Amino acid sequence: MPPSELDASFAALSDPVRRALVSRLARGEATVSELAEPFALTQQAISHHVGVLRRCGLVEQRREGTRRPCRLRADQLALVGGWIDEQRRVWDDRLDVLTRHLEAQ
């Protein structure tokens, strides 16, 4: 994943409302009005958050007559998760080296 896309994804996910929207969309498609139901926010505010998630590629929206369901792009989310997993592996390796060093002392 190019650094600019990764930056945009992390910036989008830094907001708790957008993380909640991603969690909701992980359970299945929903329209903006359906996404707005549990929040004390306007549909416009939710539309803004969905737009941020769309621009970074984590969500896509399509037309279905008058409906515009949103769905999570799991492939994009997996790329973000892959970067996190790689960082975890690096730190696990470093901590293993430190552990061996301390045990040798």
The number of domains in the chain is: 1
Q: How confident is the model at residue 4 (pLDDT cuts 50, 70, 90)?
A: confident
Indicate if the pLDDT at residue 61 is higher than 80: yes
Mean per-residue pLDDT of the chain:
93
pLDDT given at position 1: 67
Within 10 angstroms of residue 18's Cβ, the number of other Cβ atoms is 21
Indicate if the pLDDT at residue 3 is higher than 90: no
Length of the chain: 105
Question: pLDDT tens across 14-48, in order?
Answer: 999 999 999 999 999 999 999 999 999 999 999 99
- Residues of the chain with pLDDT > 90, as a percent, come to 74
Q: Give the CATH number, domain containing residue 60.
A: 1.10.10.10
CA angle 62, 50, 17 (to 5 degrees): 145
Instruction: Provide the domain limits for residue 52.
Output: 3-104
Indicate if the pLDDT at residue 68 is higher than 90: yes
40 phi, psi to nearest 5 deg: -90, 50
Q: What is the mean pLDDT of residues 57-68?
A: 93
Structural contact between residues 50 and 35, judged by C-beta atoms closer than 8 angstroms:
yes
